[in-house]
A and B are shown apart, each in its own frame.
Chain A
């Protein structure tokens, strides 16, 4: 479905009524939550069942790099084409094209407020403000202050700042506050149309565009009188090619795929590959996967799984059947990583320090035990998963299950600790049943320290 079709299907025409009745509000909310609900389900289905896991893993990375909070305004409708046409398409594209598609997608324009950004007040308008305040307060300084404050009125820096800070160069890397303002000016007029009868999507509003040349990163972007939308495009293109962007993206990708503190030499090599390949992302991924540091055993299992990664991996290793992913969507929320619901434009962090709060582990243990006991709605572990366990040999169940769940093996200490727990159980229940004890063992494996890493 296109954005227009989604609007026509899921935006209730009554939404614009000034005084909706409670019944109307409920009906409207039900309707408008459908696209987001289905989208979340599809993200989980694909992440868990997708045959092309490299694509899924990288989609997860970019989903957070170019974060959108689906709850914000009309993002709840626009998010569907965002995931399909921007994120999933972008994963194996050129970074420059990817960046441009994010910049022009209505979801991004809404999420980071660029659609309401307009040219700042003119010099004459500013002088008028200063004069008015000066007369009123009889203080020259106050007049200047007021003009200073008024200077930025209308201009919304939100997207421009995040474009520099989060999407391309990295925080305070190569750019200054005045670059933020200049980028914001170049992007004035980049807005949306949401007319459910005709068109929903990107629109350039010439009347809101700030005139004049813009100076971005010490280079002049000439005013494009005939096609002012080009100015913003030129800024985005320049940023995509910028050396700082290759460094920042390389570092973030290595941090995501290799280690919270990736080796600087590796990051340099990957950044160089990014430059050589002109941002062709498959080439960049290849550079990481072929890098000698990628296989260094010191990075083995060095990453702490985010709740999303933890949850997806529990389902994948157990081959659990999913009748409906809604229970999993809810579990992600209770583990504090609700899908497409990160308020901050940073996206969810993928470093351990953001997730390893004392107390968090208890939520994972709870999920693991609920899951193996069939208490997560809509998912169940098939009986076949336990089929090769022999009823008369409970002492080897742990090793058999561990082989399926943790191919890299258990540490000696975890193995011993689990053996003690299992022995204790068998002492109390001399003839353990597979359906009782095996899920318990599986739950402990999923909650074990080794399973929290990847």
Chain B
């Protein structure tokens, strides 16, 4: 144990989060990890989820394929610039990007951005909630697993930064995404869009009500049967009321979060004001502070474009534009820290290749991932392309899946998060594939 660790341990003593982390029912260190690093070197994984099934085919576009234009007569993107249409942004001889994704072009050129086409689940479901669950639990078709894959990672790698539960992970929204839910306590911080954020006052008002420093609390708990989720196996003297514990963690972690925000100062980079903008801005602040945060997550609902999806200036154009600008701002904002940061944008599935009768698309199969960050070997489109002819399509309607999403998760854990040994049941029923190779 080195002195840096001692500092963290001292800090830990003052936090409820640490207390909770000490008493988890998960065996420590089942994921083999390399030696601990100092705070500013921690690898960061930012997991962004587009809920609803983003239309992969209008995001990364096979602009040379006539078939694409045949099957999408009203919602395809023009291959070339015309007087009133901007045209696809060319990435290579086969693929281009939606013109609204212009802000990501420099990152592609500098080799820090790479899409993976036809990424998805081996499970055929077209149900949003099943597909999302299966992906966020990284357990396609298995309903008995209810801990998110990132929470499993946090549980099983607790030894990695001392036994420090403090802000190893956070979600920038009201409730945790499933990928982060589970026995490991993760902070959910809603971004407050309104001016005059009074969280500080709130915390001051309630801090004494949620402080577990009196013996009275223990008496109370005994009366209520000592029920609590966190720290189920904690020593008896550590047990207290779960509501008080949760409130205490909330206060400590939110104060810490505000300190970090203050330390990081106001960002000079402009972000979009909706979608991922405010959320990524919040995540960037924590990264820039050097806090040893490993995982951050955010969701964006509303990518289920059954109707009026549009092309150059429809609904999806607006959303892809906002997404791209948010990502570009984020990368600029974190500056040097991009060397230790990997962002993966994912969605539960892609959509039908043919457009439907409402200028939209329906639930499909093969999707897409967008990966960004310093460690990414970008400037290249990854993934095998199955083609768009009838015979190439999954059930004659969707893009086929050629990259299992777990191959990407596995590669991120192994090559970016430095997990040396992933236990067999971490990804149940999964044989590690070669991986897309985005991280070398």
| Interfacial residues, chain A to chain B (CB-CB below 8 A) | 18-20, 25, 113, 136, 149, 153, 158, 171-172, 260-261, 297-298, 300-302, 304, 334-336, 343-345, 352-353, 356-363, 365-366, 369, 411-414, 416-418, 420-421, 440, 443-444, 447-449, 452-453
The reply to whether A417 and B209 contact each other, CB–CB distance below 8 Å, is yes
The reply to whether A413 and B217 contact each other, CB–CB distance below 8 Å, is yes
CA distance A360 to B359 in the complex (A): 39
Minimal Cβ-Cβ distance residue in B for A453: B243
Per the 8 Å Cβ criterion, residues 133-188 of B in contact with A are: 143-144, 174-176, 181, 185-188
**Given A304-B243, A411-B220, A413-B214: A359 and B129 within 8 A (CB)?**
no
CA distance A360 to B187 in the complex (A): 9
Per the 8 Å Cβ criterion, residues 352-396 of B in contact with A are: 357-359, 391, 395
**CB of B127 closer than 8 Å to a CB of A:** yes
Per the 8 Å Cβ criterion, residues 191-207 of B in contact with A are: 198-199, 202-203, 205-206
Find A353's partner among B205, B229, B241, B250 (CB 8 Å cutoff). Answer: B229
The reply to whether A360 and B174 contact each other, CB–CB distance below 8 Å, is yes
Collect the chain B residues with CB atoms within 8 Å of residue A19's CB.
359
The reply to whether B210 and A361 contact each other, CB–CB distance below 8 Å, is yes
Q: How far is the CB of B269 from chain A (nearest CB, A)?
A: 25
The reply to whether A369 and B250 contact each other, CB–CB distance below 8 Å, is no
A sample of 18 more A-B contacts (CB under 8 A), given A357-B181, A358-B186, is: A136-B391, A149-B395, A153-B395, A172-B144, A260-B227, A297-B223, A302-B224, A304-B243, A356-B246, A358-B253, A359-B188, A359-B254, A362-B202, A369-B198, A417-B209, A448-B209, A449-B210, A453-B243
Minimal Cβ-Cβ distance residue in B for A112: B127
Collect the chain B residues with CB atoms within 8 Å of residue A452's CB.
243
**CB of B308 closer than 8 Å to a CB of A:** yes
**CB of B211 closer than 8 Å to a CB of A:** yes
The reply to whether B209 and A447 contact each other, CB–CB distance below 8 Å, is yes
**CB of B335 closer than 8 Å to a CB of A:** no
The reply to whether A356 and B211 contact each other, CB–CB distance below 8 Å, is no
The reply to whether B205 and A358 contact each other, CB–CB distance below 8 Å, is no
Ranked 5 nearest A-B pairs via Cβ: A413-B216, A359-B188, A417-B208, A358-B249, A336-B174
Find B224's partner among A172, A298, A420 (CB 8 Å cutoff). Answer: A298
CA distance A444 to B247 in the complex (A): 13
Per the 8 Å Cβ criterion, residues 288-325 of B in contact with A are: 308
| Interfacial residues, chain B to chain A (CB-CB below 8 A) | 17, 124, 127-129, 143-144, 174-176, 181, 185-190, 198-199, 202-203, 205-206, 208-211, 214, 216-217, 220, 223-225, 227, 229, 241-244, 246-247, 249-250, 253-254, 308, 357-359, 391, 395
**Given A25-B308, A358-B186, A361-B247: A300 and B224 within 8 A (CB)?**
yes
CA distance A417 to B209 in the complex (A): 6
**Given A18-B357, A345-B129: A359 and B206 within 8 A (CB)?**
no
Q: How far is the CB of B257 from chain A (nearest CB, A)?
A: 9
CA distance A453 to B243 in the complex (A): 9
**Given A361-B250, A449-B243: A369 and B220 within 8 A (CB)?**
no
The reply to whether A412 and B143 contact each other, CB–CB distance below 8 Å, is no
The reply to whether B224 and A362 contact each other, CB–CB distance below 8 Å, is no
The reply to whether B127 and A369 contact each other, CB–CB distance below 8 Å, is no
The reply to whether A344 and B175 contact each other, CB–CB distance below 8 Å, is no
The reply to whether A360 and B224 contact each other, CB–CB distance below 8 Å, is no
Minimal Cβ-Cβ distance residue in A for B394: A149
**Given A336-B175, A365-B202: A449 and B209 within 8 A (CB)?**
yes
Q: List 11 A-B contacts (CB under 8 A).
A: A18-B359, A25-B308, A353-B229, A357-B176, A358-B185, A358-B187, A358-B253, A361-B243, A362-B202, A411-B217, A449-B209
The reply to whether B206 and A358 contact each other, CB–CB distance below 8 Å, is no
CA distance A420 to B211 in the complex (A): 13
Find B254's partner among A301, A334, A362, A444 (CB 8 Å cutoff). Answer: A362
CA distance A136 to B390 in the complex (A): 14
Q: How far is the CB of B167 from chain A (nearest CB, A)?
A: 10
**Given A171-B143, A345-B129, A360-B174: A421 and B205 within 8 A (CB)?**
yes
CA distance A415 to B124 in the complex (A): 56
Collect the chain B residues with CB atoms within 8 Å of residue A357's CB.
175-176, 181, 186, 188, 246
Find A359's partner among B143, B229, B250 (CB 8 Å cutoff). Answer: B250
Collect the chain B residues with CB atoms within 8 Å of residue A420's CB.
208
Minimal Cβ-Cβ distance residue in B for A133: B391
CA distance A25 to B360 in the complex (A): 15
Collect the chain A residues with CB atoms within 8 Å of residue B181's CB.
357
Q: How far is the CB of B136 from chain A (nearest CB, A)?
A: 12
The reply to whether B211 and A359 contact each other, CB–CB distance below 8 Å, is no
Minimal Cβ-Cβ distance residue in A for B213: A413
Collect the chain A residues with CB atoms within 8 Å of residue B206's CB.
361, 365, 444, 447
The reply to whether A449 and B208 contact each other, CB–CB distance below 8 Å, is no
Minimal Cβ-Cβ distance residue in A for B182: A353
CA distance A158 to B210 in the complex (A): 43
Find A449's partner among B174, B203, B214, B241 (CB 8 Å cutoff). Answer: B241
Collect the chain B residues with CB atoms within 8 Å of residue A440's CB.
205
CA distance A345 to B128 in the complex (A): 11
The reply to whether A304 and B175 contact each other, CB–CB distance below 8 Å, is no
Collect the chain A residues with CB atoms within 8 Å of residue B249's CB.
358
**Given A334-B174, A357-B175, A357-B188: A369 and B225 within 8 A (CB)?**
no
Q: How far is the CB of B310 from chain A (nearest CB, A)?
A: 11
Collect the chain A residues with CB atoms within 8 Å of residue B227's CB.
260-261, 302, 352
Collect the chain B residues with CB atoms within 8 Å of residue A417's CB.
208-209, 211
Find A414's partner among B187, B198, B209 (CB 8 Å cutoff). Answer: B209
Collect the chain A residues with CB atoms within 8 Å of residue B225's CB.
298, 302
Q: How far is the CB of A66 from chain B (nearest CB, A)?
A: 16
Q: How far is the CB of A451 from chain B (nearest CB, A)?
A: 10
Q: How far is the CB of A135 from chain B (nearest CB, A)?
A: 12
Collect the chain A residues with CB atoms within 8 Å of residue B205's CB.
365, 369, 421, 440, 443-444, 447
Minimal Cβ-Cβ distance residue in B for A73: B306
**Given A365-B206, A421-B208: A356 and B220 within 8 A (CB)?**
no
The reply to whether A362 and B199 contact each other, CB–CB distance below 8 Å, is yes
Q: How far is the CB of A316 from chain B (nearest CB, A)?
A: 20
CA distance A449 to B359 in the complex (A): 51
Collect the chain A residues with CB atoms within 8 Å of residue B216's CB.
411-413, 416
Minimal Cβ-Cβ distance residue in A for B254: A362
Q: How far is the CB of A296 from chain B (nearest CB, A)?
A: 10
Collect the chain A residues with CB atoms within 8 Å of residue B358's CB.
18
Minimal Cβ-Cβ distance residue in B for A418: B209
Collect the chain B residues with CB atoms within 8 Å of residue A149's CB.
124, 395
Q: How far is the CB of B274 from chain A (nearest CB, A)?
A: 15
Minimal Cβ-Cβ distance residue in A for B249: A358
Minimal Cβ-Cβ distance residue in B for A345: B129
| Residue of A260, A343, A360, A421 with highest tally of chain B CB at under 10 A | A360
| Residue of A20, A414, A418 with highest tally of chain B CB at under 10 A | A414
The reply to whether B202 and A352 contact each other, CB–CB distance below 8 Å, is no
Collect the chain A residues with CB atoms within 8 Å of residue B143's CB.
171-172
Collect the chain B residues with CB atoms within 8 Å of residue A421's CB.
205, 208
**Given A302-B227, A365-B206, A414-B209: A358 and B17 within 8 A (CB)?**
yes
**Given A358-B187, A365-B206, A444-B209: A352 and B242 within 8 A (CB)?**
yes
